Amino acid sequence: MATSGTYVWVLALGITLTGCGGAASTAPPPTAAPPVASAAAVTRPADPAPTAATPSATAAALPSVAQDKALVKKAVVTTDDLGKPWFAPTSVSTVKNKKGELCPGHADATAGLKPRASAVAKLTEGKGVGRNILTVAVATLPSTDAAALQSGLKKNLQACGTYTDANGLFVVTRAEGPTTVAGVDEVLSASAERIYLDKAHTRLGYVRHNVAVRKGRVETTVSYAFLAEASDPKAKSFRRLTKLLTTQLAKNDRVFTD
């Protein structure tokens, strides 16, 4: 999932076995010999009839898709969660690629990996144009196995390393950012997109940091587009995105464990 793209349950099945016990038997009097049964009288109990295989415990324990949809919608952050100056505009500026493409000539490698449910929030850091943009996606996966998703995200990153976008800006994308995040099972992808105004990549226009993580079945993707600060002119620090991601993950924990 491109917008992926947190992408939070771990399912387990507990089985308790209870032993059987009876009262201790009393030994027969020493003068009474135990009866001996003839071989013909000893019969072997019949083998138990085979039982049908039971469905997977994980599959049986999954909530309905409708429940997943309600949970992700409730989990994705709002302006109330982030506080001022965050604002929910009716729309945000985007680069329009050809349908199904992430960058020119490359189709999204995760397009066939459909989540069970997903919800997206697009917020700006203040009102008006030219503001920093936050995009958050929370999705539930069919299982906790996200190997195919992680592989697809890696292919996207490799294919869209350097290109010119539909607005004529020059994009350079590299694998950067946190390799571990507290409270999640794995980091699926982390990258930085630097959008330059010139082909020589000397005039940095703005930056987009992206991180996708998984906890249980929930994938969380946070993308933060911003203007580089004077203190970090090449936008190497993921500090601001990490703070936003932490807020989203905390809300995931509240919603998915209620």
For residue range 166-179, what is the model confidence (pLDDT) as tens digits?
999 999 999 999 99
Beta strands in 16-132 (DSSP E): 86-87, 101-103, 106-107, 117-125
Contact 235, 225 (CB under 8 A): no
Rounded-to-integer distance, Cα 33 and Cα 26, Å: 14
Structure tokens at 164: 């010119």
Rounded-to-integer distance, Cα 257 and Cα 218, Å: 12
Q: Which residue has the higher pLDDT, 221 or 14?
A: 221
For residue range 29-63, what is the model confidence (pLDDT) as tens digits?
444 444 444 444 444 455 555 544 444 435 558 99
The verdict on pTM exceeding 0.95 is no
Check pLDDT > 60 for residue 209.
Answer: yes
The Cα angle at residue 143 between residues 252 and 57, in degrees rounded to 5: 110
Rounded-to-integer distance, Cα 197 and Cα 38, Å: 99
Maximum CA extent, the chain? 108
Rounded-to-integer distance, Cα 78 and Cα 88, Å: 8
Helix, strand or coil for residue 252? helix
